[in-house]
Amino acid sequence: MRKLVLLGLLCCATLAQAQNTPDDVKTFTLDNGMKVLVLEDHSIPNANMYLFWKVGSRNEYPGITGLSHFFEHMMFNGSKKYGPKEFDRTMEAAGGSNNAYTTENVTVYTNWFPSSSMETIFDLEADRIASLDLNDEMIESERGVVLSERSTSLENSNWSKLHDHLKGAAFLAHPYRWTVIGYESDIKNWTKEDLQRYFETYYAPNNAVVVIVGAVKLEEVKRLARQYFGPIPAAEPPRPVHTVEPAQEGERRVLVHKSVSTPKLMMGWHTPSTSHQDYYALDLLNSILSSGNSSRLYKALVDERQLATSVFSYVPESFDPNLMYLYASASKPDNEAELEAAIHEVLETFIKEGPSERELQKAKNGKLMELYRSLETINGKANTLGTYELFFGDYRKMFDAPKEYEKVTAEDIRRVAAQYLTRHNRTVGIVKDLSTELTDAQD
């Protein structure tokens, strides 16, 4: 990025002196309900188009788990004007590239291109949104691709399986129970009709937010959006996800076998959705616990007591109440109990004492630098604007973030730790080599 977006952001006094204001982001909504955000940035001769669709694995049910993600793949496999393979071929020949990702909450399509190719991108996107053509052969070969994606993650990460099992234990009712990739049997069995229904239900323009950042002119974007996206009809809004996860009333534990050199430990505590007032305090709590080598958990577990080789925690952005996660890799083949006890000890102390003023300030400074770095590039800007628009309800909240973090007190953070990081609210998962125990059990 070549302009100040947020700032005086760095620290303390001058937070409000933004050189670039929320008003620099222009928005308009097409008659069919599609909302478009545009930020002109001429620092490089490129631009991007991010399409955020409000559909993710929370919109699935048993039998079609993983379908949101599979659908994401199918969006590249042919539509009326651009048949199979033509989407990528046309885009790359125009100097563009693309990717996409699916989460529990959203599906996001990302296009990066030289500004001069913008019309091609509109044409490609409009064609697949208006008239996706689900081709039987492509469905079958894509099934193989997604099965490979699933298995390569299991092959290369010792966390995948554990994550899968931990979510299944932490959630009884809410669809956050399964992972985004879905169950293998569902991947193998969903049908073309399932896909078609998904397309009709969720891929209507009124269920999307489009963000365009880069060397573009607002008027040109408006013209192309009206021309290409305008004619696509709106649809009945999808039925809301109404399932509320029942309160957890006691610790849950899961044990998973895998031949690992040292055990892995994962914990999850139920926490509120991103739009909840506690979000900023939880996010700062997360930083204080595990961001950087001077964080509480790293210092205690890796540096001082050497019980873990790494520790990490995070709070996902989420439409519905979700989990705060903690991951730790044990340093020995059999010290996971000691590691777990040490984690609880760190958390208990924290809940009693809360953060020091310096820790609080450190977390705030870190958050601001993080946000700032994400706005260094046109892609970071597009992704961050879209994320705030969807999860915080308004892209303008991005500009308020420094102020919101600044408001949080040490007591706020202690309180959220005390409220959410309780024993009865947690699920603990461990993956370790259980081959001895499994053999014993068979005897």
Residue 214 Rama label (left phi>0; alpha psi -120 to 50; beta): left
Our finding on whether 309 is near another protein (CB under 8 A) is yes
Parallel/antiparallel/unpaired status of strands 97-102 and 107-114: antiparallel
Residues in 13-52 at the binding interface with another protein, rule: CB under 8 A: 43-46
The residue (of 259 and 442) whose beta carbon lies closer to another protein is 259
Shortest spacing between CB 56 and another protein, in angstroms: 13
Show contacts with another protein in window 402-421 (CB under 8 A).
Answer: none
Residues 141-170 that bind another protein (CB under 8 A): 141-149, 151-152, 154-158
Binding residue count for another protein, defined by CB under 8 A: 83
- Asked if 101 touches another protein (CB under 8 A), the answer is yes
Q: Which of residues 326-355 bind another protein (CB under 8 A)?
A: 329, 331-332
- Closest by CA to 42, choosing from 3, 95, 77, 84, is 3
Specify whether the CB–CB gap between 111 and 212 falls below 8 A: no
Tell me whether residue 86 or residue 400 sits nearer to another protein (CB atom).
Answer: 86
Residues in the chain: 443
Contact between 189 and another protein by CB under 8 A: the answer reads no
Q: Which is nearer to another protein, 34 or 382 (CB)?
A: 382
In angstroms, give the least distance from the CB of 287 to another protein: 9
Q: Is 303 in the site for another protein (CB under 8 A)?
A: yes
Which of 284, 335, 291 is closest to 309 using CA atoms? Answer: 335
Shortest separation between residue 94's beta carbon and another protein, angstroms: 7
The yes or no reply on residue 242 touching another protein (CB under 8 A) is no
- DSSP code of 249? -
| Contacts (CB under 8 A) with another protein, residues 71-90 | 72-73, 76, 85, 88-89
Query: Which of 136, 140, 193, 443 touches another protein (CB under 8 A)?
Result: 140
- Taking residue 283's Cβ as centre, other Cβ atoms within 10 Å add up to 22
Does 220 contact another protein by CB under 8 A? no
Nearer to another protein, 79 or 379 (CB): 379
Residue 31, by phi and psi: left (phi above 0), alpha (psi -120 to 50) or beta? alpha
- Cβ distance to another protein smaller for residue 50 or 113: 113
Angle among Cα 389, 393, 394 to the nearest 5 degrees reads: 55
Q: Which two tokens stand for residue 252?
A: 């849950």
Burial (CB count <10 Å: 0-12, 13-18, 19+), residue 263: buried
* Least Å from the CB of residue 376 to another protein: 5
Q: How many Å apart are CA 99 and CA 73, to the nearest integer?
A: 10
E-only strand ranges, 283-355: 308-314, 322-330
Nearer to another protein, 306 or 349 (CB): 306
Which range in 93-101, 224-232, 236-244, 399-407 contacts another protein by CB under 8 A? 93-101
Phi, psi (rounded to 5 degrees) for 110: -125, 125
**Binding segment toward another protein, per CB under 8 A, in 28-36, 234-242, 318-326, 371-379:** 371-379
- Smallest separation, CB 366 to another protein (Å): 4
Q: How far is the CB of 234 from another protein (least distance, A)?
A: 27
305, 342 Cβ separation under 8 angstroms:
yes
| DSSP at 75 | T
> What DSSP state is assigned to residue 79?
B
Q: Backbone phi, then psi, for 335, in 5-degree steps? A: -105, 25
Q: Which is nearer to another protein, 170 or 431 (CB)?
A: 431
How remote is the C-alpha of 142 from its chain's centroid? 23
Applying CB under 8 A, the span of 25-33, 92-100, 336-344, 422-430 interacting with another protein comes to 92-100
